[in-house]
């Protein structure tokens, strides 16, 4: 027999098994707790989303996350447009110039390269649909159709992650392709976007969206039966980053004459 106090092989096994079983039970309980928290969070989110979408506005064509983001955006921009506020559009055909310092030019080039690098991930409707973008406008001469990810509108400016994308037929009869980015950024004034003084931000005020698509602008809240945004702190910038769709009016111009069948709505 082994000396008194020395554990036998049987006692060793008896100690090991309960410890192993205890660890297993602890991990099972932890997983169950985490799952319970997750499902409770999901249920709470679903309940909150349902409450937001009970306002009677038609957003039936939108996925739930996009519908909720649009509804929240409209709720937070429901104040009247102050008198004297303008759209800040620059309709000039003259490309602006800016004297970059070497440091600014290097930073601008890096921003532009980051934007161009993502084009191949965003150049088809199938790709952008999978990323959450939904159609927000019909076709406009010179700037195509706008597709937006409503969950990205309130995010800070990032050249590689535009909240809006412009699509048009580059060849008649073929599927629309990406032609440009459009950034829509929340800011009290023109955002600090691309480095330098070339970008020209503009606003759309009193915008009315019906089922997620723009119906009109320069309306009052009472004139819109859908989602209405005053647009006062929402700044937009088109960026012609797509290779082969360069814009002779300027890389940040609102429209591209390459895509104009008429006059792009601009005076000659």
Hey, what are 53's tokens?
Answer: 């979408």
Residues 6+ positions from 43 with CB-CB distance below 8 Å: none
Q: How far apart (Å, rounded) are the C-alpha atoms in residues 138 and 243?
A: 23
Hey, what are 199's tokens?
Answer: 């970008």
Residue 179 in contact with residue 124, Cβ under 8 Å?
Answer: no
Residues 6+ positions from 150 with CB-CB distance below 8 Å: 62, 66, 69, 70, 73, 134, 163, 212
Hey, what are 245's tokens?
Answer: 């769709």
Phi, psi dihedral angles at 119 (to 5 degrees): -55, -45
Query: 89: left (phi > 0), else alpha (psi -120 to 50), else beta?
Result: beta
Question: What CA dihedral angle connects 169, 128, 159 and 243, to 10 degrees?
Answer: -30
pLDDT in tens, the chain (268 residues): 555 555 555 555 555 556 777 777 777 766 666 665 555 554 456 666 767 898 889 999 999 999 999 999 999 999 999 988 876 665 566 678 899 999 999 999 999 999 999 999 999 999 999 999 999 999 999 999 999 999 999 899 999 999 999 999 988 888 999 999 999 999 999 999 999 999 989 999 999 999 999 999 999 999 999 999 999 999 999 999 999 999 999 999 999 999 987 656 554 4
Give this prediction's pTM.
0.79
């Amino acid at each position: 027999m082994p000396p008194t106090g020395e554990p036998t092989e049987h006692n060793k096994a008896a100690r090991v098994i309960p410890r192993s079983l205890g660890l297993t039970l602890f991990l099972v309980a932890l997983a169950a707790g985490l799952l319970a928290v997750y499902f409770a969070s999901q249920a709470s989110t679903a309940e909150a989303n349902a409450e937001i979408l009970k306002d009677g506005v038609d957003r039936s064509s939108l996925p739930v996350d996009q519908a909720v983001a649009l509804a929240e955006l409209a709720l937070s921009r429901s104040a009247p447009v102050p008198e004297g506020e303008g759209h800040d559009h620059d309709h000039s055909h003259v490309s602006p110039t800016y004297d970059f310092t070497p440091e600014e030019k290097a930073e601008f080039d890096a921003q532009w390269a980051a934007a161009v690098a993502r084009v191949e991930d965003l150049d088809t409707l199938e790709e952008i649909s999978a990323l959450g973008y939904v159609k927000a406008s019909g076709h406009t001469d010179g700037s195509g159709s706008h597709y937006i990810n409503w969950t990205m509108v309130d995010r800070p400016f990032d050249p590689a992650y535009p909240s809006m994308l412009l699509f048009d037929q580059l060849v008649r009869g073929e599927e629309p392709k990406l032609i440009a980015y459009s950034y829509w950024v929340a800011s009290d004034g023109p955002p600090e976007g691309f480095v330098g003084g070339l970008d020209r931000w503009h606003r759309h005020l009193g915008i009315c969206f019906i089922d997620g698509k723009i119906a009109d602008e320069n309306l009052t809240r009472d004139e819109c039966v859908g989602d209405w945004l005053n647009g006062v702190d929402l700044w937009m910038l088109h960026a012609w980053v797509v290779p082969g769709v360069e814009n002779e009016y300027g890389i940040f111009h609102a429209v591209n004459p390459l895509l104009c069948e008429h006059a792009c709505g601009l005076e000659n």
